[in-house]
A and B are shown apart, each in its own frame.
Chain A
């Protein structure tokens, strides 16, 4: 069973990665990238790394959204390349998701639905629930009593403190560097 899931996820990852490069319409490329990230998150779930899976979805889905907007804004696509006549379906899906979010927001204290809980709950709910979810998903395979998130947090701030701190310096370089390379109005000021 685990093999089946692995090959499914791996196959989709390979396929969508190729599509990202091969598709002509940049919007489709961005969407394939999104599908690829979701399946990477799926791989993490099969490895019992729920926290990583959640981070993968939260961070990359957000990033893809930004990328998507940039594609629409910057690349000057032709009007017919941007949208198709899919407004009713889109509206229906959007409405469903909004209802779902509202339901979740107002019944947040009740136990989560079984289907997507493995990936989404660790980030949204408190630490105490994570242990329960982990046990439900992973079963006896995970021997640790503590939750996945706690373990990652602890080793990140103890054993792996050094790379963690260096990564923070990398962010500083990236920040300054992007300003130096991309600040726009500098030529007009001179």
Chain B
């Protein structure tokens, strides 16, 4: 029997970020176990140190343009994958920093929390590189497994247990849909690599298969009508986990959605534009309208997250390279604004032990810094001009205008107005209402660092977006031969293959 697995040193180099992180999370686990007297905060900084090394490694990949494929096209490292990995690692660093105070409140398993966060990050990094249906399935499940545990982490809290159970049951159901869809696509084409299935003709089995895969990925990103798990899960989960769940898995799932729609399904674009337009309109409208009625800030951000996903789907519906650029840029702006807003929620939650919007009354009197930062993040989420969210929305709407999706634009603009209302209600409570308890609030250093990072990102992306636009344009070069409307796109070859 012969084994012909040829993995050279340069091949393994492509896996370096993932291998670094794998080694590092084992180190974190062993240190946690071997030094029980070590304060658990140190583990957070240890994890951040490892993630920083991975970040540097990925930045080097990005600058040097390291690309390639491994394992018969299953694992791909291209500019898009590197972008999403940087996105995920960056988000994970910020999440670990905002978790430090919160984890102190846990009564047990403080060290394992950081391990599980790192594990989920590793899974999502693999997702960004998944280039065939089999690795999509296995990496998606991998990243979700960590979240199943993290969501139910507060074992003596009923809401957290309920959130974990709901997330688990619906997540497993989505995994079943994904596996069924993949088996149908594989049965119809006999291939699993995205670029190989591109030439398949749309038989009924293939269409059903893709719809099932889209449903499973729609579950991951929380687009209507696959959003039913979002409010309760976001509400019950530990707040840092909610923050993580609201940004990182969505980014990783968009890496897969982009590869699927823009590579495998490029030639069938007329068939799926309507599907995405529908999902986008439903997500925006439903998310924004239901958000108005919310009394809890975590639920408010959950529904606003559904609406934001609707905005991002506009870029996917545009189906051009520019749409892809806009998605990447929007995700960046969303990362800073959403994570920043959640950082404030975590900070306030740690201090006053409440997530009700009523308790944000007079926040400006109690901590002008927190109130101002929240104002900036909410305005960026709403898309107010000097901030990052405005450029993101502008970019994504322009990509849709180029494709003539005017209905979508009109619905999107109406939704911006609706969203402005409930964001500003929070602002009004913070600045105009009188606080019930006027004692000042102070926040810890790591939390402050995250809020400053969020502010910096939101302002820089809004005022001087050019370098970042250049970056996302370079990251989606693999989609550059996607034609605009009317003309049919030719078969796409994987970048750097």
Which residues of A127-177 are within 8 A (CB) of B?
146, 150, 154, 157-163, 166-167, 169-170, 172-174, 176-177
Instruction: Report if B324 contacts A (CB, 8 A).
Output: no
Which residues of A24-46 are within 8 A (CB) of B?
none
Decide: B1 and A173 in contact? CB cutoff 8 A.
no
Instruction: Report if B135 contacts A (CB, 8 A).
Output: yes
Decide: A190 and B108 in contact? CB cutoff 8 A.
yes
Decide: A162 and B71 in contact? CB cutoff 8 A.
yes
Kindly list chain B residues whose C-beta atoms are within 8 Å of the C-beta of A92: none
Decide: B1 and A162 in contact? CB cutoff 8 A.
no
Decide: B22 and A169 in contact? CB cutoff 8 A.
yes
Residue of B nearest to A164 (CB): B138
Instruction: Report if A186 contacts B (CB, 8 A).
Output: yes
In the complex, A174 Cα to B172 Cα: how many Å? 14
Decide: B134 and A163 in contact? CB cutoff 8 A.
yes
Closest CB-CB distance, A163 to chain B, in whole Å?
5
Kindly list chain A residues whose C-beta atoms are within 8 Å of the C-beta of B116: 173, 176-177, 180
Closest CB-CB distance, A75 to chain B, in whole Å?
19
Decide: A170 and B142 in contact? CB cutoff 8 A.
yes
Closest CB-CB distance, A154 to chain B, in whole Å?
6
In the complex, A162 Cα to B148 Cα: how many Å? 23
- In the complex with contacts A167-B138, A177-B146, A181-B149, A162-B74 CB distance below 8 A: yes
Residue of B nearest to A146 (CB): B1
Number of B interface residues at 8 Å Cβ cutoff, please give it: 36
Decide: B75 and A190 in contact? CB cutoff 8 A.
no
Decide: B141 and A170 in contact? CB cutoff 8 A.
yes
Interface of A is mostly: helix
Kindly list chain A residues whose C-beta atoms are within 8 Å of the C-beta of B142: 166, 169-170, 173
- In the complex with contacts A177-B145, A180-B116, A166-B126 CB distance below 8 A: yes
Instruction: Report if B109 contacts A (CB, 8 A).
Output: yes
Q: Mark B368-411, 1 if CB is under 8 A from A, else 0.
A: 00000000000000000000000000000000000000000000
Residue of B nearest to A170 (CB): B142
Which residues of B268-321 are within 8 A (CB) of A?
none
Instruction: Report if B42 contacts A (CB, 8 A).
Output: no
Decide: B109 and A158 in contact? CB cutoff 8 A.
no
With most chain B CB atoms within 10 A of its CB, the pick from A146, A173, A179, A190 is A173
Number of A interface residues at 8 Å Cβ cutoff, please give it: 26
Kindly list chain B residues whose C-beta atoms are within 8 Å of the C-beta of A179: 112
- In the complex with contacts A150-B1, A169-B122, A162-B135 CB distance below 8 A: yes
Decide: A173 and B22 in contact? CB cutoff 8 A.
no
Instruction: Report if B64 contacts A (CB, 8 A).
Output: no
Kindly list chain A residues whose C-beta atoms are within 8 Å of the C-beta of B22: 169
Instruction: Report if B107 contacts A (CB, 8 A).
Output: yes
Decide: A181 and B155 in contact? CB cutoff 8 A.
yes
Instruction: Report if B27 contacts A (CB, 8 A).
Output: no
In the complex, A91 Cα to B321 Cα: how many Å? 71
Closest CB-CB distance, B381 to chain A, in whole Å?
32
Closest CB-CB distance, B491 to chain A, in whole Å?
23
Kindly list chain B residues whose C-beta atoms are within 8 Å of the C-beta of A181: 149, 152, 155, 164
Instruction: Report if B115 contacts A (CB, 8 A).
Output: yes
Decide: B153 and A161 in contact? CB cutoff 8 A.
no
Q: Mark B143-172, 1 if CB is under 8 A from A, else 0.
A: 001101100110110000000100000000
Instruction: Report if B418 contacts A (CB, 8 A).
Output: no
Decide: A173 and B146 in contact? CB cutoff 8 A.
yes
Residue of B nearest to A169 (CB): B142
Kindly list chain B residues whose C-beta atoms are within 8 Å of the C-beta of A176: 29, 112, 115-116, 119, 149
Interchain Cβ contacts under 8 Å between A and B, 19 examples: A150-B1, A158-B4, A159-B71, A159-B72, A160-B134, A161-B71, A162-B75, A162-B135, A163-B135, A166-B123, A166-B139, A167-B138, A170-B138, A170-B142, A173-B116, A176-B116, A181-B149, A181-B164, A186-B108
Closest 8 A/B residue pairs (Cβ): A177-B149, A158-B5, A162-B71, A163-B138, A173-B145, A180-B109, A170-B142, A166-B138
